[in-house]
Each structure stands twice: as C-alpha cells, then as structure tokens.
Amino acid sequence: MGSSIKGRVFASAAGLACCLGGLQAYANASTVAGIVIQKARQFGFRAVTLQAGGSIVLSNEEATAVHHAYIEADGIRRDFGDQAPGSRTTLVFSQRGDFLVLCGVHPKMTLAVHVD
Ligand SMILES: [Cu+2]
C-alpha cells in the first residue's frame, strides 16, 4: 500500500470521526490504521474495533499537553511512552481481545479497543 493511499484512509477516518463519533469508522478496518485524536485531554473515541494485526494511530493535537498512553490487560502491560504535542504514535494490536488504553498523565482518559 502506498503512502498516498494510506494518507487518504487517514483523512477518511478522521472525517468520519466528527460525524459518527464511534465505532463505524473502524468497522471495516483490518490492517489499516485509523487515527484517534488526543485533544482537550480526551481521546477522540471512547471505543474502537479493529481486527487482529490492525493498528491505530494516536495523534496528540494539544497545544501543550503531553500524553502517555499505556495498556493494562490480563497479563499484558504495554507502554507507548510520552506523546508530545504534534506527535503521532502507532499502536499495533496483534492479539484478539479487549484492551483499555489509558493515559499515565490524565487518569480520566480511556479508550476501549476491541480486537476481533
Ligand atoms: Cu493524557
């Protein structure tokens, strides 16, 4: 897949986010990444669904706030480090299951990820 195609997919997913505000943007996701915006100390989605092997991209669109995404699940802890303003971080989900992405800086930020 070329980068231009990927860029269009990103734009499409971001566009849907404003209208549907939920899972639908990811309904057909397989290994295609979708963007989840981090802004106003919240994730742009409360929950996303994707297929195993798929990924999402966290896009920190804060002016100054740093986020720090991590996952805790049964026997799994993954830390994605700091997300500086303007940065993007890719989270790959290779295992099926339900995961909760949390922010080490802002405890109220939660993003549920269901991996089929
Ligand atoms: Cu945060």
CA of residue 62 to ligand 1 center, whole Å: 10
With a CB cutoff of 8 Å and minimum separation 6, the contacts of 89 are 57, 58, 60, 69, 80, 81, 83
Query: Which amino acid appears at position 10 of this protein?
Result: F
Which pairs with CB-CB distance under 8 Å and at least 24 residues apart come from 3-12? Answer: 6/32, 6/33, 9/33, 9/34, 10/34, 10/35, 10/57
Measured in Å, residue 39 CA sits from the centre of ligand 1 at 9
Q: What is the pLDDT, as a whole number, of residue 35?
A: 93
State both tokens at 110: 């939660």
69: left (phi over 0), alpha (psi -120 to 50) or beta: beta
pLDDT value for 76:
82
Among residues of the chain, what percentage have pLDDT more than 70?
Answer: 72
Global confidence as pTM? 0.72
Instruction: Identify the residue with better confidence: 76 or 17.
Output: 76
Give distance in angstroms: CA of 44 to centre of ligand 1.
12
pLDDT more than 90, % of the chain: 66
Residue 10 predicted with pLDDT over 90: no
CATH topology assigned to domain 3-115: Immunoglobulin-like (2.60.40)
Single-letter code of the amino acid located at 63: A
State pLDDT tens for residues 17-35.
333 344 444 444 444 568 9
Alpha carbon of 58 to ligand 1 centroid (Å) = 11
Average pLDDT over residues 37-48: 95
CA-angle at 24, arms to 18 and 30, nearest 5°: 120
The residues facing 49 across adjacent strands are 114
pLDDT at position 32, please? 52
User: Which pLDDT does position 96 carry in this prediction?
Assistant: 92
* Distance from the alpha carbon of residue 101 to the mean position of ligand 1, in angstroms: 11
How many helices (H) and strands (E) in the chain? 1, 9
